[in-house]
Amino acid sequence: MLKNLSDLHKLAKSNTKKKLVMAAAHDQDAISAVLNAWKNGIIDVILVGDEKKIREIEKSCSYDLSAFEVINEPDVDKAAAISVKMVSEKKADILMKGALGTPNLLRAVLNKEWGLRSGELLSHLALFEIPAYHKILALTDAAMNIAPDITGKVSLINNSVGFLNKLGLEKPKVALLSAAETVSFQMKSSTEAAIITKMNDRGQIKNCIIDGPLAFDNAVSEKSAKKKGIVSPVAGDADLLVADDIDAANAIYKTFIYFSGAKIAAVIVGAAAPIVLTSRADTDQAKLDSIAMAAAV
């Protein structure tokens, strides 16, 4: 069981050191993040981007990038292609976004010839260290899939469970969120949760324990579940929350950060390798923890 995001750093350092390749690496914030991760002994780094701009950043910020391999490619789409091919060819283990748009990077990731498709949807997986919760709590999908249908939700679960299994959670407890714990035919989240739970019971979704529909309070509070008479192996002890759509997931994500004081790490999963998409709004610690999350598997 993961209790703190610092456990990700321990896992990353206990594994063979991973190599991260950054596409369009001429970005000060992104360079700062990977330099910090490298100094912490988590990763080795390859920078693919406009070398002139990279060296200007190195000089203006007094960075020492001498330990990094730098591949000069000013065109961001070509830089993305080079970076993805390096991961596809096992020359790097982690892909990270630099100074290019997410759609540009994902076009390269989804290239049918040399991309990183794995058969599942790409999805966003976040890990939270929340002061009020007794262990790390995961959430999907707050950033990628807008309104997944039942097939999409199964992909999100498979992506997330596969990643959590690699982090050492053999049977993560998955809570499928809805507004109530009873099935209502007027509520799509409710009926789809019930179907997915039965799929898990029949062995169609493996390596996890799923229950739903569960309202948020029942998923994370044993006291609330007991008061409502809910008997469930997941209620009050969820490892992974699966929201019905991106609106619900994104609201939960930001509530955890801004109202609960949560620490956050997040990656894109469902590809052949983890993808780090940090934002300028992320704290330095969040960027470091996200890179550690990718390196921990």
Q: What is the pLDDT of residue 180?
A: 87
Give the whole-angstrom CA distance, residue 264 versus residue 271. 21
- Does 27 sit behind a cis peptide bond, omega within 30 degrees of 0 on the bond before it? no
What ranges make up the beta strands (E) of 192-269? 209-214, 240-242, 263-269
Give the whole-angstrom CA distance, residue 212 versus residue 180. 9
3-state secondary structure 236-269: CCCCEEECCCHHHHHHHHHHHHHHHCCEEEEEEE
Q: What is the pLDDT of residue 49?
A: 97
Give the whole-angstrom CA distance, residue 297 versus residue 294. 6
Q: What is the pLDDT of residue 1?
A: 75
Q: What is the pLDDT of residue 58?
A: 97
φ, ψ of residue 143 in degrees (nearest 5):
-145, -15
3-class DSSP assignment, residue 74: coil
- The residue ranges of every structural domain in the chain are 6-117+271-295, 123-264
Give the whole-angstrom CA distance, residue 79 versus residue 23. 5
φ, ψ of residue 204 in degrees (nearest 5):
-80, -20
The per-residue pLDDT string of the chain (297 residues; one tens digit each, 9 = 90 and over) reads 789 999 999 999 998 999 999 999 999 999 999 999 999 999 999 999 999 999 999 999 999 999 999 999 999 999 999 999 999 999 999 999 999 999 999 999 999 999 998 877 999 999 999 999 999 999 999 999 999 999 999 999 999 999 999 999 999 999 999 998 999 999 999 999 999 999 999 999 999 999 999 999 999 999 999 999 998 999 999 999 999 999 999 999 999 999 999 999 999 999 999 999 987 778 899 999 999 999 999
Which positions ≥6 away from 248 have C-beta within 8 Å?
177
Total-model pTM: 0.94
Q: What is the pLDDT of residue 278?
A: 82
Q: What is the pLDDT of residue 151?
A: 96
Residue 24 tokens, joined: 């369009």
Would you tell me which CATH number, out of the four given (3.80.10.10, 3.30.1490.190, 3.30.830.10, 3.40.50.10950), belongs to the domain 6-117+271-295? 3.40.50.10950
What is the residue type of 288? L
Give the whole-angstrom CA distance, residue 212 versus residue 242. 10
| Cβ neighbours, 10 Å, residue 195 | 16
Asked if CATH classification 3.40.718.10 holds for the domain at 123-264, the reply, yes or no, is yes
